[in-house]
């Protein structure tokens, strides 16, 4: 059994989820605010200490025509930084439509953007778990 953290990266906020390979499911954890478009590394470190993940999954933003969005290089940089800072194996996966699906699943509760980002991270992580385990 492996524990993974999932990340829905954005320059202003990052949704975080946790999941396990044994169940193939994930749960939304939190949304972290960035400082000057820099991730809150102290809070990320705290989550890594708390959950002790075996790996991380970062969503890679794509357009509907299969091209990467302008945010993709920044998401890749975030993934490299996660790997370098914490020695985690980091996987990337297409995150297309996860925020829309998160809003749909949350329904009326979707008024909180924080919940949408954490739910999107959950969907990103569950997609990876479904495809790899």
User: Which residue ranges form the domains of the chain, and what is each CATH number?
Assistant: 3-132 (3.30.420.140)
pLDDT in tens, 39-63: 999 999 999 999 999 999 999 988 8
pLDDT in tens, 97-114: 666 665 666 666 555 556
C-alpha distances (whole Å) from 11 to each of 63, 71, 74, 95 are: 17, 8, 8, 15
pTM surpassing 0.95?
A: no
CB 24 within 8 Å of CB 56: no
**SS3 at position 47:** helix
């Amino acid at each position: 059994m492996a524990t993974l953290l999932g990340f829905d990266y954005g320059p202003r906020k990052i949704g975080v989820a946790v999941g396990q390979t044994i169940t193939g499911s994930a749960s939304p954890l939190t949304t972290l605010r960035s400082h000057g478009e820099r991730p809150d590394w102290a809070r990320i470190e705290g989550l890594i200490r708390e959950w002790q993940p075996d790996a991380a999954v970062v969503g890679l933003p794509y357009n509907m025509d299969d091209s990467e969005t302008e945010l993709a290089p920044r998401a890749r940089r975030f993934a490299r930084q996660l790997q370098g800072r914490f020695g985690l194996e980091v996987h990337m996966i297409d995150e297309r439509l996860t925020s829309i699906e998160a809003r749909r699943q949350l329904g009326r509760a979707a008024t909180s953007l924080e919940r949408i980002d954490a739910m999107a991270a959950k969907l990103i992580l569950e997609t990876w778990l479904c495809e790899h385990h």
